[in-house]
Amino acid sequence: MQNIIEFIQKTFKSNKFIPLHEPRFIGNEKEYLNKCIDSTFVSSVGEYVDKFEEEFAKKVGSKYAIATVNGTSALHISLLLANVTENDEVITQALTFIATCNAISYIKSKPIFVDVDKDTMGMSPDSLKNFLEKNCEIKDSKCINKSTKKIIKACVPMHTFGHSCRIDEIKSICDEWKISLVEDAAESLGSFYKKQHTGTFGDLGAFSFNGNKIITSGGGGVIVTDDEKLARRAKYLTTTAKVPHPFEYIHDEIGFNYRMPNLNAALLVAQLENLDFFIKRKKELANKYKEFFKDNNDVNFVEEPKNSNSNYWLQAVLLKDSSNRDGFLEFMNKNGVMTRPIWKLMNELEMFKDSQSSTLENSKYLEQHIVNIPSSVIL
C-alpha cells in the first residue's frame, strides 16, 4: 500500500494531508461575490440566482432550472411535484447517500429498495423490473404494491459517483408501470448517458452543490425539468408558497424556505464557467489512476460504464479481497491520504430496516469492496 500512497502524493504534489475532494476557486468567484455584496441583494432575490438558473439549464439541456438551498431540498420538492404523499411508496436503491431516503421520509412516504448493477453502481433496470413484475399490478392507471396495497408513485435512481445508471431502460420501465421518474443527479453534473445529460431523462432531476461536489457554493441545489407547470410550482413552493402581491403577505398552502441565496448563486455562476475544465482534469486524473492500477492484482480502478461519459466526481477502486478494506482505509488515512468506504446500505439503517426490498446481492458486494480515493481537480 505504500506505493499507492507515494503515487498519490506525487500526483497531487503534496506530502501533507490529501483530502478526498476539495473545492477549487480559480475564476470569477471573488469578483461576482463582491458585486453581489455591493448590490446589497444577498438573499433569495438577485440577478445571480436568475443567471445561474438560466446558465445551468443551458448546460444540462433542460428547459427549466430552479435553484434551491441544497440537493436534499431539491429532491424533496421534486418528490412533492411528482405527487408523492405520506400514503405512497417510492422505489430507490439501497446503495445511496442518506439524502435520497431523507427526502422520501420528509413526505412520510415509504422507500422500497432494489439492487444496483456492479458496473454502474446505480439502480439495476433488471432488479427494478423483476420487483415490479413479482410484487405489483396496474389498477386504474396506478402502480399498486400487492403486499401493502399502497401506490408506488415514484422511482428515484441515483447516478453514483458521477457514473450514469442505465437510465433509459429505467425510464421505459417507469413509463410502463405508471411511475414518475425523479433522478437523483446530485453527483453527476457534467455526466452524460448516450449523449444526454443525467438528470434530464426523468420528469424531474435534482443536483447538489455541497462543498465536496464538482462545483460548489458551500451548499446549494437545483431542480431541472422540461415541464413549465412543474417549474412554476417548484419556484412557488421553494419561496414559501407566497401569492404574488406588491405588499401583502398571502400564502395559500404550506411552502418551504428553500430558495437559493444570491450569494451562493454568485459563486455558482463563476464555478459553472470552469466546469468543463474541472471535468477535463478529473478525466486526466482517472487516466492516471487507471494506468497505475492496471497491473494490480488486488485492486481494480472503477471506470465509466458503457455508453456513459462520466464526470468522475469521486474516483473509486474495488478491492478484490473485502477483508482488506478496513486495513486499507486505516493505513491510508493514518498516512495522510483521505479515503472512505462507500455508504452503508440504507436497508441496514435503523430507520429503514423494515422497508421492503429485493435481493441486494450487488449492493452488498459493492458495500464491502468499494473505496473512494482522492479525487480533487489537479491544477
pLDDT digits (tens, 9 = 90+) for 119-166: 999 999 999 999 999 999 999 999 999 999 999 999 999 999 999 999
Average pLDDT over residues 264-276: 98
SS3 361: helix
| Statement: residue 307 has pLDDT above 90 | yes
Average pLDDT over residues 244-253: 92
pLDDT at residue 292, as a whole number: 97
Map out the domains of the chain as residue ranges.
Answer: 2-20+275-347+356-373, 29-273
Instruction: Name the burial class of residue 141, with classes exposed (0-12), middle (13-18) and buried (19+) by CB atoms within 10 angstroms of its CB.
Output: exposed
pLDDT at residue 15, as a whole number: 87
The residues with which 113 forms a beta bridge, in sequence order, are: 92, 357
| Statement: residue 1 has pLDDT above 90 | no
Dist CA 337 CA 191 (whole Å): 26
The DSSP-derived string for 232-251 is HHHHHHHBTTBPP-SS---B
The residues with which 222 forms a beta bridge, in sequence order, are: 67, 207
Cβ atoms within 10 A of the Cβ of 284, count? 12
What global pTM score does this model have? 0.96
Dist CA 87 CA 342 (whole Å): 31
Average pLDDT over residues 52-70: 98
pLDDT at residue 137, as a whole number: 98
pLDDT at residue 83, as a whole number: 98
Dist CA 230 CA 22 (whole Å): 34
Instruction: Name the burial class of residue 59, with classes exposed (0-12), middle (13-18) and buried (19+) by CB atoms within 10 angstroms of its CB.
Output: middle
Dist CA 299 CA 109 (whole Å): 39
With a CB cutoff of 8 Å and minimum separation 6, the contacts of 7 are 292
| Mean residue pLDDT across the chain | 97
Q: 295: pLDDT confidence band, cut at 50, 70 and 90?
A: very high
Domain 2-20+275-347+356-373: assigned CATH number: 3.90.1150.10
Structural contact between residues 292 and 317, judged by C-beta atoms closer than 8 angstroms: no
Strands 180-184 and 221-225: unpaired
pLDDT digits (tens, 9 = 90+) for 75-94: 999 999 999 999 999 999 99
pLDDT digits (tens, 9 = 90+) for 162-194: 999 999 999 999 999 999 999 999 999 999 999
With a CB cutoff of 8 Å and minimum separation 6, the contacts of 79 are 90, 103, 104, 107, 109, 154, 156, 182
Encoded amino acid at 172, one letter: S
Structural contact between residues 94 and 342, judged by C-beta atoms closer than 8 angstroms: no
Dist CA 152 CA 110 (whole Å): 9
Average pLDDT over residues 309-330: 97
* Architecture per CATH, 29-273: 3-Layer(aba) Sandwich (3.40)
Identify the residue with better confidence: 1 or 151: 151
| Statement: residue 379 has pLDDT above 90 | no
